[in-house]
Structure 1
Amino acid sequence: MKKERNSLKYAALFAWHWLCSGFFLGTLTLMGPVRRITDHARAAGWSETGEKAAVFALIGVLFFVSLLCARLLADKTAAAGKAGRYGLPAGALALALLALWFWLTPSLMIDRGMKSDAVIVSGTEFVFGPYPGEERLSGLKEEGYTAVISLLSPAVVPFEPVLLASEIEEAQEAGLPLIHLPMLPWISSNDHVEKALSELLAKGSGKYYVHCYLGKDRVNVFRRMLAGLSGDGAQAAPPPGSARTLYDIKSFERGAITVLAKDVFLMPYPTDEEFFGYVLNGSVASLVSLLDPANPENLSWIKKEKEIAAKYRLPLASYPWRSMDTAARKKAVEEIKRLKKPTAIHAFLSASPDYAEFKNAYRD
């Protein structure tokens, strides 16, 4: 066996089994242990760092388990008779195809309790939901929808390009126009969406079904952009349970999140992922920065936040806490309490003096 393991044929068998079994085991891991851990981490208030560490630990275990499985299967294939030499690789391929089918069937990933919801802006109705299958597309046509707006991006490989191609074909068969506005699940590279939205609103009529993969983060950011263009901030709020909120997490990458009052949160400066998942998804109505431009280290962060808030039409107020005297701070707290809620207030780090001082001032 040692001699066979040094052969090119054995290396090819090992690579085949590692690819196929690794993909299958990876799918099981993501849909089982990883999903359970992330759900628990968010419910228990783990930081993003802690959550990622747990996930990476599982990925490490998966890596070694898949290696062992691949070696075992390669050994058995090399030592087997004709039936085994073909049957074992074919079985591994079947498992990989099963996993691929799972990923290409979003209905298996969708929360069964999820419901579509709608907003009407300037006479145009937008209905938000998850990826529609062939049957759902036909139903949308019968229900009188003008078009489907797909936010799937070819850059989110390997699944979204395949799903998008299927959707284009199925929409054509259903006789339903499809508007493709690829939207990436982070805060940049989505400028084209705003332009297209403006053009749709200018028409003043129509009914559109808007979706990404699961109908969560990207559709809620789309909703935020829509509300900004319409000037109706109320439209930005997602329905209960359809978006992550700051109640769902107790820590960000840069520190803890404190609930100061009902729908009032004190947090550190969000990372790009945290902005997209917890702030720009319509669950925050007012954003407040405590960063002081007198500190040169804050300038780039202040500039970045202003650009994000302007782009996604999120009201942003700035109170340079470090430079304010006692009277100014008291007035600032009173003004912040009158802002539309939910309100998210941030220093840069939760361990900073500004964070602690503001928390005490707000609660006094």
Structure 2
Amino acid sequence: MQNERKDRFFLKLLMWFTFLSTLGVGGGIFFLLFAVVPIEQTYTDRGWSQFKIDNVMKYFVLGWVVFGFIASFLYYFLILKKNRWVASWLFVIGSVFLCISGMYYFLNTGNGIVQASQGEIVEGDRFTFGPYPEKEDLVRLHEQGYDGVITLLNPTLPIEKPLLDKEKASVEEIDLELISIPMLPWVGDNSKSIQRVKQLIQQDDKKYYVHCYLGRHRVDVIKQVINEELGDDTYALNFMQPTTLARGELFNFPDQAIMIGPFPTDEEWFTRIKRGGVKEVVSLLPDSPSNKWQSKAKQVTKEMGIDFTAMPISQNPTLEEVRTIVNYVEAAEHKVYVHAFQNNTVSMMAEALIDWDATLVGDVSPTVQCGSAEWVGRKYLIGCSPSEEERTTLRAIGVEQFIDLDGMTLGQQYEQLKRVKHERRPSYIITSRHEQEQVKQVAVGLLYGSMTGGQEWETLTLAGAAPIRHERNLLLGPMLLPEEYESFALEKGVAQIILLYSPSTTSEETLTKASVEAERRGISIRSIPLVNNYEKDLIPLIESENGLNYIMTEKELLPLVNTYIKKF
């Protein structure tokens, strides 16, 4: 009798543990695929940074863990402990089935959810890049004359080890060479893996298929390594440099290989800095062993093979100090990333100097007779009319001209601000107090799109549909009604409208009408047909304009275009 009770106790313990573990794994996979992934995509569509998304999503994951333990203890105390054996076995069998189904679904990379996130296959003479290959893909590669496969999957990641084992078994049957060069998906010490790739390029001229799981992030690093070794851009990176990081705005300069921004998060070091082709990082942080951020920057750049230069700035920097930094990065013959911890006065002065070769100087907003003026970067000051004495003071901090917008219509204000932008002269914009916020909004839109990561776009609505924020200076939305060219495009300071259209469904009348409405208000507009490889026209056009880009297309095409843009 005692042995029977002991056996039952161990059986119950085994059933409880089986239920807990299989529910955790199987249910966790389906929770990830059908809850976490769609929720994360919603946040991505809203323009949230990955740093912010990760901080939110960890609570969903933690919530699932808590749910799993609660469910298992309820199972134990309400069912197992009360010897309800039929229900007990049904729950265990159900959770085991759920686990098996989840593992099968997740490891089957041909399912729709995984395929929707995969990168495109990029072919070259020696190397072809893409996502994880199934057995039929490997057979096709062998028939096409490939000598082997380079897998970047990392066996230390639990979800990737079964895929790697499956791949090893498949290549043995097909007689393909498999070269394992494990890499971590995000920041990490991948230097040994990168060195192995360099040696491989020099050792032979065999043809390889290179892949990670999705065929996006890690393969892009290898593309970059191969380009560096071959001394050209043999393998193009389908990548659009962002304008927003977790800690602030990122400023790009179309005519120069320079970026200015905040201290990157762990993920951003890989996806924004390394993947963006940066060869040198210039840090404005205090250069001391006690500064953990400076130490981290040195460590990360060393792991990624990026040069590091410390150019610490004083607490109250002068124009000469900032110009010294700008002269250094402009003289570089490679891509440079300049960072503080968060964007500050030095960042904005450097941005203005690089872009306009002139800047306003100062940290505190200057006060004129009727109140404080407001900065727009270090390119504009906006406020009420200053006295002659105050104008002298303003000229001393870099103001080159005074532009009076008081009493003008919205269209005239937009036109004047756009003219000043093209002149590239730091200016003091005069406006009445009650119009100051509106004028600032137009100015910010024309110069930067947004200075808050585009958060103000989240509540924006248009008649056709709600616009989708991609970056601080990139919105995707429906065709504008005639009145929206003023109530939206002029008010928000849209610097450029890009009309994406389908040659087979969009009428010539629609294209002409859009061009007329934009041009009569002085808004730049370009039309691009939705044909194969239209990103070759679209991405350079977006990256040539730091102000607010509005991509508009017909409502039924919005989901297609949105999915396409997210790939870059």
Q: TM-score range by the shorter chain?
A: 0.7 to 0.9
Deviates more, 1:178-187 or 1:90-99: 178-187
Residue by residue over 1:224-260, the C-alpha shift from the partner in whole angstroms, topping out at 9 and shown as x without a partner, is 222233333x34641258xxx534xx333xx112335
Q: Does 1:54 align with 2:56?
A: yes
Shift of 1:166: 1.2
Shift of 1:168: 1.0
Shift of 1:86: 3.2
Distance 1:297 1:199 in 2: 38
- Residue 268 of structure 2 aligns to which amino acid in structure 1? E
Shift of 1:287: 4.4
Distance 2:127 2:195 in 1: 16
Shift of 1:261: 4.4
Check the 8 A contact 2:150/2:211 in 1, yes or no.
yes
Distance 2:107 2:300 in 1: 36
Check the 8 A contact 2:194/2:225 in 1, yes or no.
yes
**How many equivalent residue pairs?**
341
Check the 8 A contact 1:46/1:251 in 2, yes or no.
no
Q: Does 1:98 align with 2:90?
A: no
Distance 1:170 1:44 in 2: 41
Deviates more, 1:353-362 or 1:268-277: 353-362
Distance 1:119 1:246, change over 3 A: farther
Alignment partner for residue 87 of structure 1, among 86, 90, 115?
Answer: 90
Shift of 1:279: 1.9
> Which residue of the partner structure matches residue 120 of structure 2?
115
Shift of 1:203: 3.9
> Which residue of the partner structure matches residue 299 of structure 2?
304
Check the 8 A contact 1:128/1:219 in 2, yes or no.
yes
Shift of 1:181: 1.3
Distance 2:20 2:50 in 1: 30
Check the 8 A contact 1:223/1:236 in 2, yes or no.
yes
Shift of 1:147: 0.7
Deviates more, 1:72-81 or 1:180-189: 72-81
> Which residue of the partner structure matches residue 33 of structure 1?
35
Check the 8 A contact 2:220/2:237 in 1, yes or no.
yes
Deviates more, 1:109-118 or 1:293-302: 293-302
Check the 8 A contact 2:258/2:329 in 1, yes or no.
no
Check the 8 A contact 2:12/2:80 in 1, yes or no.
no
Residue by residue over 1:148-200, the C-alpha shift from the partner in whole angstroms, topping out at 9 and shown as x without a partner, is 0111121111x222211111111111121111112222444433323432332
> Which residue of the partner structure matches residue 180 of structure 1?
180
Distance 2:217 2:242 in 1: 14
SS in 2 for 1:270: coil
Residue by residue over 1:18-70, the C-alpha shift from the partner in whole angstroms, topping out at 9 and shown as x without a partner, is 22222222112212332233333344343455323311221232133323433
Check the 8 A contact 1:285/1:340 in 2, yes or no.
no
Q: Does 1:276 align with 2:279?
A: no
Identity, in percent, stands at 23
Distance 1:76 1:60, change over 3 A: same
SS in 2 for 1:172: helix
Distance 1:257 1:131, change over 3 A: same
Q: Does 1:257 align with 2:256?
A: no
More helix by share: 1
- The two structures, once aligned, show a CA RMSD in angstroms of 3.4
> Which residue of the partner structure matches residue 163 of structure 2?
163
Q: TM-score, normalised by structure 2?
A: 0.53
The residue correspondences of 1:215-294 to structure 2 (distance < 5 A) are: 215-232=215-232, 234-235=233-234, 237-240=236-239, 245-247=241-243, 250-252=244-246, 255-262=247-254, 265-281=259-275, 283-285=276-278, 287-291=280-284
Check the 8 A contact 2:43/2:53 in 1, yes or no.
yes
Q: Does 1:350 align with 2:348?
A: no
- Residue 276 of structure 1 aligns to which amino acid in structure 2? F
- Residue 257 of structure 1 aligns to which amino acid in structure 2? E
Q: Does 1:199 align with 2:204?
A: no
Distance 2:39 2:88 in 1: 38
Shift of 1:267: 2.0
SS in 1 for 2:110: helix
- Residue 198 of structure 1 aligns to which amino acid in structure 2? K
> Which residue of the partner structure matches residue 528 of structure 2?
none
Distance 1:40 1:264 in 2: 31
Check the 8 A contact 2:19/2:95 in 1, yes or no.
yes
Shift of 1:211: 0.6
Residue by residue over 1:91-147, the C-alpha shift from the partner in whole angstroms, topping out at 9 and shown as x without a partner, is 210111111112222233232774200345xxxx11111110100000000011011
Distance 1:19 1:316 in 2: 46
Unaligned runs of 5+ in 1: 1-5
Distance 2:28 2:88 in 1: 24
Distance 2:15 2:300 in 1: 51
Unaligned runs of 5+ in 2: 1-7, 360-568
If you compute each CA radius of gyration, which structure gives the higher value, 1 or 2? 2
Check the 8 A contact 1:289/1:320 in 2, yes or no.
no
Residue by residue over 1:66-100, the C-alpha shift from the partner in whole angstroms, topping out at 9 and shown as x without a partner, is 23433454434666766544333112101111111
Q: Does 1:138 align with 2:130?
A: no
Distance 2:147 2:289 in 1: 51
Check the 8 A contact 1:126/1:210 in 2, yes or no.
yes
